[in-house]
Each structure stands twice: as structure tokens, then as C-alpha cells.
Amino acid sequence: MTKWTTADIPGQSGRTAVVTGANTGLGLETAKALAAKGAHVVLAVRNIDKGEAAAEWISRSVPDADLELQRLDLGSLASVRESAEEIKAKHDRIDLLINNAGVMYPPRETTVDGFELQFGTNHLGHFALTGLLLERLLPVPGSRVVTVSSIGHRINAAIHFDDLQWERSYSRVGAYGQSKLANLLFTYELQRRLIGQNTTALAAHPGGSDTELMRHLPGVLQRTVPLLRPLFQDAAAGALPTLRAATDPGALGGQYFGPNLTTRGYPKVVPSSDQSHDLELQRRLWAVSEELTGVTFPALQPSRA
């Protein structure tokens, strides 16, 4: 299938999807598409007012949308724990967990827990949320965890175990690359631990999407955006790889979806960097992430392959 679109999403009635960062950009389009196919969509957002505006926007296009708002601040482990408990109290099952929310290229900031903002939000927050919600996914046949990475996982990217929080020096691009590489390392390690379970783990990237993430680009790069915009696609197109990873019946655990023309186009399975497939790196990051978040995955056995 070379031109997969939202028309190819199977019916989602009776399914529950949790989408982080669902108030804008890729997450908003992902939530809208799932709601249009009948899913009950939990909009997990940091700002409830913006979440309400997002729900109203979706409902204008999908009048019968089945939506629910959930406050979630991925930059606070306390908020992640509280949100996970509230979601579990309301839902006996989760069919889709879409780890979409993220920040890109901000000036150096830290989360409530002292983690570098991009690593703490993009990776650690989602690692913790997944671990805390997994018990609601595991019993559900066909359930999936989809984590949104980026082509940025290849750009100046490494896991700086000697300075994970970039306290000695800070590179916006390097820190973003580290967080997006971490998303893939997490996905691949999670998938191996899920072998034999009902749940699978997949990843996606949106290519070059013209979304709110661009707001933190340094001034010199901001000036290039109008010149590069022809290479970008809108958020609806950028959400297609995530949606295919989440809903295509033929998608397999461990696959990584992205646009067929790298920065734009229709979604297909794409390769990720050699570094993202490094088993030792995956296992080491997993162990460090458990230590930093205090969240473990007791239902899963450590991977061996």
C-alpha cells in the first residue's frame, strides 16, 4: 500500500486511545483521526484550557467524537503518576497509548524533577507513563504503544551517560537528538520485552512537519524556515506515520514508520540509525531510566535477544 491515508484506518469503535500532547499539532490531528473512526480518545494535555479548545475543534469536524480530557505534565513525575492513576481508575483497558508530546530546541531548562527538559519530557516522562499504564494494555489483544521519534535521532545524537542532563555544556540540537534517539532505543527494548504478550511497541516520525515545535528554533534557524517550508508537510500529513503504526493491521512490533520521501509523503516502514539498534545501549538506557523515574515494568522479563 503505497498511499496510505486516514481512509485506510480500520474502525476503532470500542477502543480506547490515550494520546499525549493532543491539544496541538501532530497529537491533535492524531486524536481527531482516531475519534473520526469511533475510538474513545483521552486527550492527555498539560494545559486543560488548551485541551478544551482542542476538544471543541475536533468536535466541529467530528460531531459525535467521544473525547475525554486528562491533565498530564510529562515534565513532572508526580503528575505522570497522578495522571496514570486517574486513567486507570476510569478505564479497565487501553488499546492504544500514543506517546506523542514533545519539546524541541528550547533554551536549557529543567523539569520539576531536575532533568534536562527535552530528555525529561520526550523520553523519561513517556517511559514512566508507559510503565504505569502497561497493566491496562497487556490484557488487550492488539494493543499498541506508539512512540513518536524524529529524523533528529540521527543529528548530533548520542546518549551522554556521563552528562545526561547536559549540566556541563548544552546543545539544543544535541539534547533533542539524544531524546529522540532515546525514544527509539526505548521502543526497541520494550518490543523485545513484550514478545509473547498481546501488546506491541512501534515508533514513528513525522518527517518535516510545520507545527508548534518550531517555536523554539534559534533566531538564525527561524530565518530559514520560510525557505525550508516547501520541504515541510502540514500536521495532518505529519500524523499519518503515527496513525499507521497505531492502526494498520499489518504493522508489526518494532517497526518504525515515516514519510516515504523522508521529510514528507505517505507513511511506510523506514530504517533508523545503526545506533538505535545497539542492544547494549538499549538495555543500559532502560536501566538508567528505571533508576531516574523510579518506574519499573514488573510484568515484563528483561530481553535476552
Q: Which domains are assigned to the chain?
A: 6-293 (3.40.50.720)
Active site residue 188: no
Q: Measure Cα distances from 88 to 91, 93, 135, 227, 248 in Å.
A: 5, 8, 9, 46, 26
Calculate mean pLDDT across residues 33-48.
98
Whether the predicted model's global pTM rises above the 0.85 cut? yes
E strand intervals along the chain: 16-20, 40-45, 66-71, 96-99, 144-148, 200-204, 256-259, 267-269
- Residue type at position 295: V
For the chain, what percent of residues have pLDDT higher than 90?
88
Taking residue 152's Cβ as centre, other Cβ atoms within 10 Å add up to 19
The single residue listed with the C-alpha cell 505522570 is 80
Q: Are 257 and 242 in contact (CB under 8 A)?
A: yes
213 φ/ψ sector (left φ>0, alpha ψ -120 to 50, else beta): alpha
Q: Are 145 and 100 in contact (CB under 8 A)?
A: no
Which tens digit of pLDDT belongs to each residue from 66-121?
999 999 999 999 999 999 999 999 999 999 999 999 999 999 999 999 999 999 99
pLDDT of residue 208: 84
Burial of 305 (C-beta count, 10 Å sphere; 0-12/13-18/19+) = exposed
Calculate mean pLDDT across residues 214-224.
51
Of 176, 188, 256, 266, which is the active-site residue?
Answer: 176
